[in-house]
């Protein structure tokens, strides 16, 4: 992850930092932390190992899930992305477009553009783009409903990779992001 200097709190790759209230009707900020265990070798002659626990903190902005009823006219992920590429435009720099999926059986997908930066020494991920229409897409049960989680992941990645080869994608705002990732796999596409 790239880091911004303390003097310049703008987000990478050059956009300005947005206030926490930006997109507040559709997003929420989560403050996360986790512990890591690290073994360090001591310089003593007997090569003793010291174990330290370090706490890592980061802030991530997430979209607020919609109500239980999401209705979209699309029959596939590709149709949904084609619509977004046709009707949405975003010219500001975006570090990463994230296509995230909920777990089966009720699989919802969403698309957002995110930038990563540092605020007060803490890594922060902010949403800087979300589609005006159809940010959320409910995967059709007919096509995706009977799949195991692993089969769903493979099918989604296959469809996304196929979509990334189309001219429509190559001319879209999505192709101007530095990378596209899913919550199943980082960097499914990059420049």
Q: What is the pLDDT of residues 59-111, one digit of tens each?
A: 888 888 777 678 889 999 999 999 999 999 888 889 999 999 877 666 889 99
* pLDDT digits 0-9 by tens, 126-170: 899 999 999 999 888 888 888 888 898 899 999 999 999 999 999
Q: What is the pTM of this model?
A: 0.71
Asked whether residue 7 is assigned to any structural domain, the reply reads: no
Closest to 131 in 3D by CA, of 181, 190, 64, 81: 81
Closest to 58 in 3D by CA, of 41, 74, 34, 81: 34
* pLDDT at residue 53, as a whole number: 66
Asked whether residue 157 is assigned to any structural domain, the reply reads: yes
- Evaluate whether 138 touches 72 at the Cβ level (below 8 Å): yes
Which residue, chain included where needed, has tokens 């986790």?
34
pLDDT at 125 over 60: yes
Asked whether residue 13 is assigned to any structural domain, the reply reads: no
Q: How many CA atoms lie less than 13 Å away from 101 in the CB half-sphere?
A: 23
Domain region containing 173: 66-183
Between 92 and 55, the higher pLDDT residue: 92
Asked whether residue 73 is assigned to any structural domain, the reply reads: yes
- 3-state SS of 1-64? CCCCCCCCCCCECCCCCCCCCCCCCCEEEEEEEEEEEEEEECCCCCCCEEEEEEEEEEEEEEEC
24 pLDDT band (50/70/90 cuts)?
Answer: very low
Asked whether residue 52 is assigned to any structural domain, the reply reads: no
Which residue, chain included where needed, has tokens 């994608």?
169
Tokens of 59: 């802030």
Per the rule left: phi > 0, alpha: psi between -120 and 50, beta: everything else, 121 is left
Asked whether residue 6 is assigned to any structural domain, the reply reads: no
Give the C-alpha separation, 138 to 98, whole Å. 16
46 pLDDT band (50/70/90 cuts)?
Answer: low
Tokens of 171: 């001319």
Of 9-13, 28-32, 38-42, 169-173, the poorest mean pLDDT is in 9-13
* pLDDT at residue 40, as a whole number: 54
* pLDDT at residue 8, as a whole number: 28
Mean pLDDT of the 9-35 span: 40
* pLDDT at residue 45, as a whole number: 59
Of 12-21, 24-33, 94-103, 152-161, the poorest mean pLDDT is in 12-21
Asked whether residue 23 is assigned to any structural domain, the reply reads: no
Phi then psi for 50, rounded to 5 degrees? -110, 135
Mean pLDDT of the 163-186 span: 91
Number of structural domains in the chain: 1
| Three-state DSSP state, 168 | helix
């Amino acid at each position: 992850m790239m880091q911004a200097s303390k003097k310049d709190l703008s987000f990478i790759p050059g956009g300005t930092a947005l206030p926490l209230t930006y997109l507040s009707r559709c997003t929420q900020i989560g403050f996360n932390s986790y512990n890591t265990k690290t073994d360090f070798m001591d310089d003593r002659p007997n090569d003793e190992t010291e174990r330290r626990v370090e706490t890592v903190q980061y802030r991530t902005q997430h979209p607020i899930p919609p109500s239980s009823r999401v209705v979209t006219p699309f029959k596939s992920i590709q149709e949904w992305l084609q619509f977004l590429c046709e009707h949405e435009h975003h010219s500001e720099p975006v570090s990463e477009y994230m296509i995230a999926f909920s777990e089966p059986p009720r699989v919802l997908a969403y698309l957002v553009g995110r930038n990563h930066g540092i605020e007060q020494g803490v890594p922060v991920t902010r949403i800087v783009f979300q589609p005006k229409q159809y940010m959320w897409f409910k995967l059709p049960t007919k096509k995706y409903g009977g799949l195991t989680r692993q089969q769903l992941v493979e099918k989604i990645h296959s469809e996304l990779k196929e979509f990334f080869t189309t001219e429509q994608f190559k001319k879209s705002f999505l192709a101007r992001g530095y990378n596209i990732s899913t919550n199943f796999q980082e960097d499914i596409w990059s420049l």
